Chains A and B, each alone.
Chain A
Amino acid sequence: MNRTVRPSRRQFLRGAAGALPLPWLPSLLPRSAWGATLAPPQRLLFFYVPCGLQPEEFVPDRLGAGYDLKQITAPLVDVQADVSVLSGLVQGAGYDNRPGDHARGTGCFLTATTVKFTAGSDIENGISVDQVAAQAVGSATLLPSLQLGIDEGGTTGDCDSGYSCAYARNISWAGPSTPMPNVIDPTVAFNRLFAGTDLNLDADEVARRTLLRTSVLDHVAAQATALSGKMAYSDRLKLDEYLTGVRDLELKIEQLANQVCLPGESPPIDDDYAIRVQAMCDLMALAYSCDLTRFITFMLGNGGSNRSYGHIGVAGAHHELSHHQGDPAKLADLYAIGNWEVAQFAYLVGKLRDLTDADGSRVIDNSLLYFSSEIEDGNSHSHTGIPVLLAGGGGGAHTPGRHLDFGETAPMADLFLAMLDAVGVNPGTFGEDGTAPLAGLR
């Protein structure tokens, strides 16, 4: 694996200017690195929108480059060269002989695994594609992965026809019963990325603080291990989760010594939905440009969300509208919502086009961004032919800007295998039906 070369803290301070986060600065790299080929990091991002995407106003009529934009995809006009539309992919794990497509579709969104039907504590899913990547190569960065969202966890009521709320509110799963919760507050997310990075400290002080922090964590880990020895099976499982968390935190602290980015300004504190979404997109771009993480998932809303998009003039609840039954007024509202969702994605793509990596290539060229929903048409709740946007070059793995159709024969899991391949991870199979990286993307 390429060992990334990082400039030292002192070098960065001498060269730093202003409060803007600076990505790789070739002039700060050690002399030995000059002239050597530095491969920029490869990233993956998964952008989830709830309640489906109407294919009739999404999927282009033409194939190949220069595809036609429809009402929902219209906001891609300025970034179209970096975004492909993929149609005809199948998420088989979304089907099961019972209602609950939102929970099931969201649960399998990145796992391609049919989730276990339960509303209790015995949830069971597969491991999601971002976590496969994070567990393989995520230790290279401060955070192996980052899960962001907008909607709260919800406090009352069930989530979809007898399925646990865990399925509807999480797309990132580290293990069969380990959903990775979203951070929904941009300020909290910002602090996770930058707290503890005080570039005014010298190396000795950093080492002292690291020693003290990790000593505390070692101490409580030892307490947990001792406690575990006195407990029964179910209790030990809880302590195992605790110990995993402590270990991950220790790894993160060790990574802190490598930070080279000045955080800049904290995001605005605002309850407004549109502002929070944009703040999250800004944070995702920042996290990539500072190489604080390479695997991000973002949920624009929870599965089956009933949000009212008042700020774009759409009254009514999203989920209720998505059961449009052919009503033209409801469809018009759905197209408007989809259009807004794609506009947020286009904004993020635009930011990554403007940022550059160490070798001068654009961050978007070294990323693959996946945009989709848990179902296709909101009324039919189909999991076949769910529209997908794939943005970025993936370091050469993908030639973007085309409409590719896969004839409702290729599994979504094969696309995930292709994305994993782009970051150097090849598990061979993925989910229930992924057998080989999807061909035709390059």
Chain B
Amino acid sequence: MRVVGLIAVLTACGGSSSTDPVPAPEIADPGRVTLHRLNRAEYNNTVRDLLLTTLTPADDFPFDDFGYGFDNVAEVLSISPLHLEMYELAADQLLDELLAATTPIPAAVQHFEAESQLTATTGASNGTAWNLWSNGTASTTVSLPSGGHYVLSARLWANQAGDALAQASLLVDGAALSTVDVPETAAPGALYSAEVDLAYGGEHSVGVRFENDYYDPTAGLDRNLYVDWVELQGPTDQVLPTPPGYAAVFVCDPGTPNFVDADCAREILAGFTPRAWRRPVTEAEVDGLMGLYQLSRDSSGDWYEGVRLALKAVLISPHFLFRVELDANPTDPTPHPVDPHALASRVSYFLWSSMPDDALFARAEDGTLTDPAVLEAEVARMLADPRAEALVENLAGQWWSIRAVDAAFPDVVAYPTWSEDLRGAYRDEMQRLAHDLLLTDRSMLDLFTRDDTWVDARLAGAYGLPAPAGDSWALTPLPPGRTGFLTTGGLLTALSYPTRTSPVRRGKWILGNLLCEAPAPPPPGVDTSFFVEDDTGAPQSLRDQFEAHRADPVCASCHAVMDPIGFSLEHFDGVGAWRTDDAMGLPIDASGALPDGSSFGDIQDLATQLAADPKIPGCMVEKTFTYALGRPPTPLDLDALDAIESAFIAGDHRFSALAAAIVLSDPFRYRTGEPEPTEAP
């Protein structure tokens, strides 16, 4: 008989009372999942797949609420005002990137004061400008980042004399872009500009040339050209490369033949919104978004700004941020199928932590997703897709504490071999092992008994194994004493204190995460002292120090199970390294006996016994069910869990069998409404 551990029944304020009519379902109550907000990982993956971006804006979002072992439990996830600020900022960042190629990069300006920054072939400074008193050039060398379109400007005036006005030329690389009359006679003169297309960047010269000096000393007539400053602006035609997501969203744009602005905007929104909201959209919904487009156009926004405003609304809409599942009658508790598009999202967020792809959307659209055979085929297809790596990051990352490795603080004085390099190696090893367990069709019981692992040079050093060549990772048999995932250096470091091991934490982890039998918290007022030396002053091993755990019957009720399991791992110190003696210098005894009469000689022995323990598959089912549905199982799910477990075992404990069984189960494919609470909230 299965007991669903310490998980409370979610009755949601009021729930069903004895006076409610008993529904007559065709299937057992499949439960329901509360409106489910995308968590950080899901948001990042979704925008990656929707917009083909490499930005990860959710890294700045507040951390997700955590419950029942995972950060994707719908009932627990909340939205704060801070979230909305972050969602809006994120939408702006994503749209900035998407539209980066539609606005030219602002052109750099280089400015040169003539009296101090130009080199002249003739003339002199008058303090604020350069006086070219005979034909000559004032110029300088510029360094340009690239070829392109440039604008050369100069502020000029002249002393006039004779019949002609003073003439000046604007020069680039010695060639005149234009030659003009300069009628102004005093500062500040006037601005003269010319444009040029340069074929390449690098060094160029720019300047001004006085063309028609006139000097009649007897009549006292002198024509001179004054140059105040010269400026080069550009390149003015540079744009960033078009990002890959642009073509996916902008199915038409001003460059398309027969472009009509409002029609194209509508076409874009009609194509993008169903993908973003993961369901077909109505004309009215598109009309509403077009209203925002029109509002922007009416307030002098250009076409891109108009479309952008509507796209922004799509990205901060509740239809994007939540996985919406509608019931025909929201308060009716009669079970009914989850609609195909919502079902597609359930599958993709379970297996990929992301939105459905086109193939899965197509199955939802043509109605075939409700066929169990099609659903099963999709699960197999999606597990083989690289996006299934999300299961390693998010399911294994939390369930098997891979993420916890990043939060460990070993003390480098106690453990001088510890480094960030080693942390990275430990984490990578755990991820590779998790990948193998989940995605390579082997038995998940290998978690206990697998006898080889992946090592690179860093890890090989820590485990005392031969290092593979270069940066590569290689499969290597485990050294004596280690077995499966339980003895990975990363896990044992995460389950230690900075200066010593913690058998209690390690035992508790195995009990809670693998046997689904988390021990109760300690009673109030418990004396947590323990003594490093015994009564004669001799040092005690950690096991003897913890004697009070077993001497006192109140403590023993939990510790008699936790401690022996934890002590089986005592050969691995606070950073997961093998040792024969403990920190006190005393030899380690890793054997133990459990209250049910079983005993083991060491961790390998214990691991073998655990692999055969009938509670293990059931616990794997419970944990994966919680992650897959976004809710913990309740007593109403017992039959479904039994069926899933049977399929899992029949499938040789492969994750693919477990995943398929969950997806095909009634709780996954059906839902109920929720009666209104009977008392005021």
Mark A residues whose CB is within 8 Å of B.
97-100, 119-121, 147, 152-157, 161-162, 164-166, 169, 174, 178-183, 185, 188, 191-192, 195, 208, 211-213, 215-217, 219-220, 223-224, 227, 230-235, 238-239, 241-242, 244-246, 248-249, 252, 306-308, 310, 315-317, 320, 323, 325
Contacts and interface: CB of A to CB of B under 8 A. Distances in A.
A317 B409 contact: yes
B384 interface: no
B67 A249 contact: no
A121 B313 CA distance: 30
26 contacts: A98-B524, A99-B524, A120-B8, A120-B10, A152-B63, A156-B403, A162-B520, A181-B63, A183-B82, A208-B300, A213-B88, A220-B316, A223-B288, A232-B676, A233-B674, A233-B681, A234-B674, A235-B674, A238-B34, A241-B79, A246-B84, A248-B81, A308-B498, A310-B412, A315-B413, A325-B529
B80 interface: yes
B305 to A, nearest CB: 8
B599 interface: no
Contacts of A231: 35, 326, 330
B40 to A, nearest CB: 10
B397 A178 contact: no
B497 A317 contact: yes
A181 B82 contact: yes
B522 interface: yes
A238 B413 contact: no
Contacts of A310: 411-412
B35 A316 contact: no
B673 interface: yes
Contacts of A245: 79-85
Given A98-B524, A120-B68, A215-B292, A191 B79 contact: no
Given A99-B521, A155-B398, A241-B78, A215 B295 contact: yes
B60 A188 contact: yes
Nearest to A241: B79
B409 A249 contact: no
Nearest to A247: B81
The size bracket of the interface on B is 35 or more
B309 A233 contact: no
Given A121-B76, A232-B331, A306 B404 contact: no
B602 interface: no
Contacts of A180: 80, 82
Given A185-B60, A212-B295, A315-B414, A234 B80 contact: no
Interface string B43-81: 000000000000000001011111111010101101111
Contacts of A188: 60, 86
Given A211-B299, A233-B676, A308-B498, A241 B80 contact: yes
A193 to B, nearest CB: 11
B60 A212 contact: no
Contacts of A212: 295-296, 299, 301, 309
Contacts of B66: 153-155, 165
A248 B84 contact: yes
A325 B68 CA distance: 33
A234 B35 contact: yes
Contacts of B68: 120
B409 A230 contact: no
A217 B309 CA distance: 11
Contacts of B524: 97-99
Contacts of B76: 120-121
A100 B521 contact: yes
B318 A233 contact: no
A156 B528 CA distance: 24
B522 A223 contact: no
Contact of A223 (B78, B318, B397, B528): B318
A323 to B, nearest CB: 6
Contact of B37 (A152, A232, A238, A317): A238
B619 to A, nearest CB: 16
B327 interface: yes
A147 B81 CA distance: 12
B538 interface: no
Nearest to B77: A238
A242 B78 CA distance: 9
Nearest to A145: B81
Given A234-B75, A249-B81, A227 B324 contact: yes
A182 to B, nearest CB: 7
A152 B681 CA distance: 32
Nearest to B518: A158
Interface in B365-412: 397-398, 401, 403-404, 407, 409, 411-412
A45 B521 CA distance: 34
A254 to B, nearest CB: 14
A156 B63 CA distance: 12
A216 B309 contact: yes
A216 B674 contact: no
B529 A155 contact: no
**Which of B313, B494, B673 has most chain A Cβ within 10 Å?**
B313
B411 A316 contact: yes
B175 interface: no
Contact of A164 (B67, B497, B526, B529): B67
Given A212-B296, A316-B499, A99 B526 contact: yes
B416 to A, nearest CB: 12
Contacts of B681: 233
What are the 3 A-B residue pairs with the smallest beta carbon separation, nearest first?
A153-B63, A245-B84, A181-B62
A212 B673 CA distance: 37
A120 B526 contact: no
B660 to A, nearest CB: 27
Given A232-B673, A242-B322, 7 more contacts: A162-B521, A191-B89, A192-B82, A217-B88, A234-B674, A241-B80, A316-B497
Contacts of B35: 231, 234-235, 238-239
A164 B67 CA distance: 8
B81 A157 contact: no
A154 B403 CA distance: 9
**Which of B81, B301, B330, B520 has most chain A Cβ within 10 Å?**
B81
B407 A154 contact: yes
Interface in B558-572: none
Interface in B404-440: 404, 407, 409, 411-414
A125 to B, nearest CB: 13
B409 A98 contact: no
B78 to A, nearest CB: 6
Contacts of A223: 288, 317-319
Nearest to A146: B82
Contacts of A155: 66, 71, 397-398, 403-404, 407
Interface string B275-311: 0000000000000110110011001110000000100
Interface in B205-264: none
**Which of A180, A227, A232, A241 has most chain B Cβ within 10 Å?**
A232
A252 B75 CA distance: 28
A307 B411 CA distance: 10
A245 B316 CA distance: 12
Interface in B472-504: 494, 497-499
B344 to A, nearest CB: 19
Interface in B636-681: 673-677, 681
Contacts of B8: 120
A192 B322 CA distance: 24
B411 A120 contact: no
Nearest to A118: B8
B202 interface: no
Contacts of B317: 220, 223
A224 B35 CA distance: 12
A195 B89 CA distance: 9
B610 to A, nearest CB: 20
Contact of B523 (A99, A182, A249): A99
Nearest to B496: A317
Contacts of A208: 299-300
Nearest to B64: A153
